[in-house]
Amino acid sequence: MTFYHIDAFTDTLFAGNPAAVCPLDSWLPTELMQQIAAENNLAETAFLVPRADEPGHYDIRWFTPAAEIDLCGHATLASAHVLWRHREVGGEVLTFHSQSGPLPVRREASGRLTLDFPSRPPQELPAHPTGLADGLRATPLQVLAARDVVALFGSVAQVQALRPDFTRLLDVEYLGVIATAPGPEGIDFVSRFFGPRVGVNEDPVTGSAHSTLIPYWAARLGKTELRARQVSPRGGDLWCRLRGERVDISGYAVTYAVGELLL
C-alpha cells in the first residue's frame, strides 16, 4: 500500500506540519487504521477512499497516534496535494466528505491550496477550565471555547515562551488547547496548539484550530482577510478568510517521502 509523507502549511521541507496520507480503494478496519497512525507517529494520518461515479470526491478519515478526530486541516491539505501532485487527479476543486461535512479544496494560481472549512466561533467562558493555567504555566488574559479551548495572551513572546505541563493539560476537558495572541507586523495573529488528550502534545500547524481562530480575530480586528502564523518550533504560515459560516484556510505543501506499507 502506497503512502505519502507530506509537510503541510509550508513551501520548504522540515517545516510546517507533517502528515501521512494513505489513499485506499476501500476502507480498512478502523483498528488497523489506528495502528498505522500510531506506527507513523505523526500528528495525523489521513485515509481516503474515492466515491464511485463522483470524480473528484473522496471520503476521508483522520487519526492521531491515539484517536480518530472529526476535523483536520493539515492532513486534508496534504491529501489534496497527493492527489494533484502524485495521483494525477484532474480538476481545480476536490471535495473530501468527513464527519464535519463536505470539505472542498481548490488550487490557486499562486500554488497555494485553499481549504473550505466550517466556521466555529468561540464563546467566552465565565471561568478558566480546570488545569488550564497550571497546564500552560501561565495565566491567559481571556479564555474562550468551541471544540477547543482558546487562551488569549498579549504578545507573540508570551505564546512562544509557553512550556506546558502536558500532564496537567490532560485535565482540561476540551479536545485541544489553543494559545493565541496578536501577531507582529504583517501577521494578524499567531497561535500554538496543544493536544495531549489525543496523543499530540504540540501540533506544529493546526488548520482545524483556525476554524475557531479566524472568526474570533476577524471580529476583533474588523477584517475578513487575515494572515496567520503558528509559532511552534517547526512553524507554518496560513492565509485566512472569513466567509460567513465558512472559512478559507490556504497554504502550501511539499512532499518529503513516498513509500510502501507492507501489511
**Positions marked active-site:** 44
Q: Are 77 and 208 in contact (CB under 8 A)?
A: no
Q: Which residues pair with 106 in a beta bridge?
A: 93, 114
- What distances in angstroms separate CA 249 from CA 76, 172, 193, 246, one per listed residue? 11, 27, 16, 10
Which pairs count as long-range contacts for 80-86, CB under 8 Å and 24+ apart, including other chains? 80/105, 80/107, 80/113, 80/253, 81/6, 81/8, 81/113, 81/253, 81/254, 81/255, 82/4, 82/6, 82/21, 82/23, 82/255, 83/23, 83/58, 85/255, 86/4, 86/255, 86/258
Give the three cell numbers for residue 37.
497512525
